[in-house]
Amino acid sequence: MSIAVVNGKLCDEQKNIHVRNLLIQGGKITGVGYIPDEDEAALTLCDVSQSMMLPNTFDFLPLPEPSTIASYTQFVQSKGMINMAYIPNASTDCLDSPDVLKGMIDALGPLSTHVKFIASASKGNEANDLSELSLLVDAGASAIYFDRIIENEGLFKQALTYVDMIGVPIIFGPMTTMQRQGAHLNEGPTSFEIGIRGEAEQDEFSTIQYVLNLVQSHVTVPVHFHCVSSIRAIEAICQFKQASKGLISLGVSPFHLVFSDDVLRSYNAKLKFNPPLRSNVTMTLLNEALADGRVDHLTSLHYPQVGDSQALSFFDHPFEVQTLDYFFQVVSHCLVSQGVPLDGYERLLSCPLSLSFFSPVTLGLHSTATFTVLKAVSDQPSSMVLFDDLNVELSGGLKAIVNQGDLVVS
C-alpha cells in the first residue's frame, strides 16, 4: 500500500521552508509534489498541515545491553529518533574496550549508518585510569566521552591533550557530582521539604566553569555538553562559544523546560534526572534560553530499561528515566510555546553541526522514507498524561513517524 504524506513543511540546506507532498512506496519516496489520485483505494493519506517533517532527528543515548543493540536501535527509531550516538552506561558497558566496540558495530549491520559510538576517556568511566584512546578511535569511536575523569585534574588534562592530538570531538556528561555526593535532586525548598539531600545549581555552574578553563588551554577540537540545567552555566558556555568560533555546543532537556523540582514533592522517582529538575525560576530562564537561540540541541535523557524494573524508593532509584514515549510531544510544546522559528526545529533536533557525525538527509525523490513530523503551530493546549500519572497541558504535538516507509504513528 502507498502512503501520501501531504502539506508538510521541509527546511532545505539554505534554511528555506517549503510545503511538500510525499508519495511513499516500498520504503522509498517515489513522488514529490504531485500525488496521483487514480488509485485512491490503495492510498493511505496522512495530512500533516502546519507541521515540520524532520529527517535527521538525533540524540545521545546511554548504551543498552550490547547483546540487544540492533533490536534496541530499531526500537529507538520506531519512537522517531532516526540517528543516535551511544554513550557509556555504567549499567551495561562503559565503551572502554576496542574489541567490544568492534563487536557492537558489526552486530548493527546496516543500522550502523544511523549509529555512532562515544567511547569513555577513562576505564570504567571512573577517575583513575585512562582508556586506550587511539585504539578506541581506531575501533570505530567517533568521539570521546568525559564524565568522572574530570575529578582527577592531572588525568583530565592528559586526556584532553591526547584527544586533541587524535582530533575527534569531546562529549561531556552531566556536570554534576550528585552520585559522588549522595544528592538526589536539586537543592532548594523541595529537597528541604522531603528531607532528601540535593545539589545546588551553583555546583553545576562551578564545574562547567572549571572544565571550560581547561578546555580553553588544551583543546581545539569540537566540544559538546550533553545536558546543561544551570542558566549561569549556559551563559558561560555561550560566552566561551563566541571566542571558540562555534566549536562548542550545549544540549538541554525539554523536560527541564516543562517540569520544575516541585513535581518531586511526591517522591516521583520517574522524574529523577541527572542533572536534576531545577526551580521554577530556572525553568523559566531555560525556556528563554531556548527562545533566543542559546540552546544547540534538545536531548531526551532517555535510558534503556536494564534488568529488573521493580519499583524502588526515590532514595534508591537510579538516575535512569524512561522518556522516549513523551519526548517529541514535549519538544513540540517547547518549540511552539517559545516561538522557535521553523528552521530551528531541524537545528535543535539534529546532531550539532560542529560534531559532523552524520551528513544531513533531504527528503527527495528516491530517498528512504524515514522522518518524524512535529506540529509547528500552537493549538489550544490539551491535557496529556506523562510518566503514567502527571497531567500536563501541552501545545503542539507529535503528528507522525514514518520509519523505512512504514507509518508507525499517525
**pLDDT tens-place string over residues 194-222:** 999 999 999 999 999 999 999 999 999 99
**CB-count burial class (<10 Å; 0-12, 13-18, 19+) for 338:** middle
| Whether pTM exceeds 0.75 | yes
Mean pLDDT of 268-274: 94
Q: Say how many C-beta atoms besides its own lie within 10 A of residue 32's C-beta.
A: 17
- DSSP SS3 for 178: helix
pLDDT exceeds cutoff 70 at 36: no
Q: How confident is the model at residue 34 (pLDDT cuts 50, 70, 90)?
A: low
Nearest to 296 by CA among 240, 337, 258: 240
Cell 513517524 locates to 401
How far is it, in rounded angstroms, from Cα 54 to Cα 195?
43
Chain mean pLDDT for the chain: 93
- Amino acid identity, position 216: Q
pLDDT exceeds cutoff 90 at 60: yes
How far is it, in rounded angstroms, from Cα 392 to Cα 268?
15
**pLDDT tens-place string over residues 83-121:** 999 999 999 999 999 999 999 999 999 999 999 999 999
**Residue 340: C-alpha distances to residues 155, 282, 343, 347 (Å):** 41, 19, 8, 11
The DSSP 8-state label assigned to residue 321 in this structure reads B
Nearest to 297 by CA among 409, 397, 172, 403: 172
pLDDT exceeds cutoff 70 at 65: yes
Domains and CATH numbers, the chain: 2-51+364-376+400-409 (2.30.40.10), 54-355 (3.20.20.140)
Q: What percent of the chain has pLDDT over 70?
A: 97
Output the pLDDT for position 37. Answer: 62
Helix, strand, coil percentages for the chain (3-state, nearest 5): 35, 25, 40
Q: What percent of the chain has pLDDT over 90?
A: 84
Phi/psi at 367 (5° precision): -75, 160
**pLDDT tens-place string over residues 235-247:** 999 999 988 776 9
How far is it, in rounded angstroms, from Cα 219 to Cα 240?
13
Between residues 15 and 308, the one the model is more confident about: 15
Contact 298, 250 (CB under 8 A): no
- DSSP SS3 for 29: strand
Cell 570531538 locates to 169
**pLDDT tens-place string over residues 318-369:** 899 999 999 999 999 999 999 999 999 999 999 999 999 999 998 988 999 9
- Amino acid identity, position 195: G
Between residues 175 and 307, the one the model is more confident about: 175
pLDDT exceeds cutoff 60 at 38: no
Output the pLDDT for position 33. Answer: 83
Contact 393, 382 (CB under 8 A): yes
How far is it, in rounded angstroms, from Cα 53 to Cα 173?
29
Q: How confident is the model at residue 381 (pLDDT cuts 50, 70, 90)?
A: confident
Output the pLDDT for position 305. Answer: 87
Q: What is the CA radius of gyration of the chain?
A: 21
